[in-house]
Amino acid sequence: MVDRLERLTNLVLVLLGDGPPRSLREIADEVPGYPPEGEARRQAFERDKRTLREGGIVVSTAPVSGPDQVGYSIREEDFYLPDLDLDADEQAALNLAVAAVHLGDPSGRDALWRLGLPAPTGARPLAELPHLPALPVLWEALRARAEVRFSYRGQPRRVAPASLRFHGGWWYLVGLDLDKDAARTFRVDRMEGLPVPGAAETGTLPEGFEPTTALAEEPWRIGEGETVHVELLALPEVAGLVEQQLGSAAVRERRRDGAAVLGLEVTNVDALRSWLFELGDHVVVLGPEPVRRSVVEWLESMAGTS
């Protein structure tokens, strides 16, 4: 019985080898370990192809003459990258990047393996970015200028991607919403399910497309709601901290007891409320009345359910 790893290794070497694409019959003759002719052989080969694909190795098909009609090969350009010509210090830099930036899965290490670079050694992390399965799909779509389809806030969207951006702790996709014909920004973690990419070049952007959507740093400005001007009262114990976060330009009034009144533009009231509550009972919304009312009602619904 041939170890499956041995069969796979030989399969890769044979398919990468010289000559025209090989039919399944020829492959089974050349690679030991396939069952005798018949459905079992076909299934074993399909399973091997799937394993290779999951490992990032693409097996191409082409018509060939003879009873099998289909031939298989691994094209050189699908298997190898053009040599990156990395100098020693550049190799070390990529190693550092993978060791010091934690992305929540082993893809970085696998990338170094594939480039033939030594595996990373332990280093104190410099940054941790959230891991989202949608990101590689979106990145691939960006590179292929392919449109992507996904569900967002319960609505199906079709988007020509322009850029992926990590900002303020979140990953965003910026692009042209093809149905609304307008630039839109989407939080990647809010996409419902995995996005589905279209074929290459189906998501090309109009000449000069420059999304002007500036991404807001503050969570309460991320949202498509109407802009509301909100006034907050920060009590003395947190006034300094809140001023530091919102900037001194936000201060409307400094009170003698050390409290401060601050103003800010809000497009996402839910996010504002969440941020306020992180500061406990030291910050209070003064107005406008509808926003104040919504916070009070939220609290009343909690206080009443004891």
Partner 1 sequence: MTTRPDAGQRLRRLLAILSWLARVGRAPVSELSDRFGIRPEDLVADLELAACCGLPPYTPDQLMEIVVDDQEVVANLGEELARPRRLTAAEGFALASAARAILATPGSDPDGAMARALGKLDAALGGAGRLKVELGDAPHLAEVRGAVEDRRQLAVRYYSLSSDEESDRIIDPVSLVSVEGRWYLDAYCHRAGDMRRFRLDRLVSVSETGRPAEDHGPLPEPATEATPAAFVPGPDATVATLAVDAGGTWLVEAVPVLARKDRRDGRTEVELAVASTVWFERLLLRLGPHAEVLRPKALTGAGAEAARRLLERYRAAG
Is residue 200 involved in binding partner 1 (CB under 8 A)? no
Is residue 81 involved in binding partner 1 (CB under 8 A)? yes
Among 40, 62, 70, 119, binds partner 1 (CB under 8 A): 119
- The smaller minimum CB distance to partner 1, of residues 37 and 90, is found at 90
Structure tokens at 49: 């192809």
Size of the site for partner 1 (CB under 8 A): 108
- The smaller minimum CB distance to partner 1, of residues 29 and 46, is found at 29
Residues 216-275 that bind partner 1 (CB under 8 A): 217, 233, 235, 237-238, 240-241, 244-245, 273-274
- Contact residues for 165 (Cβ-Cβ < 8 A; gap 6+): 171, 172, 174, 215
Among 20, 35, 66, 125, binds partner 1 (CB under 8 A): 125
Is residue 90 involved in binding partner 1 (CB under 8 A)? yes
- The smaller minimum CB distance to partner 1, of residues 34 and 63, is found at 34
Q: CA Rg, the chain, in Å?
A: 28
- The smaller minimum CB distance to partner 1, of residues 9 and 227, is found at 9
Residues 21-80 that bind partner 1 (CB under 8 A): 29-32, 51-52, 54-56, 78-80
Asked if 215 and 227 touch (Cβ cutoff 8 Å), the reply is no
- The smaller minimum CB distance to partner 1, of residues 69 and 274, is found at 274
- The smaller minimum CB distance to partner 1, of residues 65 and 301, is found at 301
- Closest approach of Cβ 193 to partner 1, in Å? 16
Q: Where does this chain touch partner 1 (CB under 8 A) — which range of 38-46, 61-69, 159-167, 178-186? A: 159-167
Among 20, 35, 66, 118, binds partner 1 (CB under 8 A): 118
Asked if 141 and 197 touch (Cβ cutoff 8 Å), the reply is yes
Residue 288 preceded by cis peptide, ω within 30? yes
- The smaller minimum CB distance to partner 1, of residues 98 and 191, is found at 98
CA distance 232 to 18: 72
Asked if 142 and 190 touch (Cβ cutoff 8 Å), the reply is no
Structure tokens at 95: 């190693």
Q: Where does this chain touch partner 1 (CB under 8 A) — which range of 61-69, 99-107, 221-229, 250-258? A: 99-107
CA distance 242 to 245: 5
DSSP annotation of 204 reads P
Taking the alpha carbons at both ends of the chain, their separation in whole angstroms is 68
Is residue 292 involved in binding partner 1 (CB under 8 A)? yes
- The smaller minimum CB distance to partner 1, of residues 63 and 133, is found at 133
- Closest approach of Cβ 119 to partner 1, in Å? 5
Is residue 207 involved in binding partner 1 (CB under 8 A)? no
Burial class (CB in 10 A: 0-12, 13-18, 19+), 283: buried
- Closest approach of Cβ 207 to partner 1, in Å? 16
Q: Where does this chain touch partner 1 (CB under 8 A) — which range of 106-114, 149-157, 179-187, 220-228? A: 106-114
CA max distance for the chain: 93
DSSP annotation of 255 reads -
- Amino acid residing at 154: G
- Contact residues for 125 (Cβ-Cβ < 8 A; gap 6+): 100, 101, 102
CA distance 52 to 33: 16
Is residue 212 involved in binding partner 1 (CB under 8 A)? no
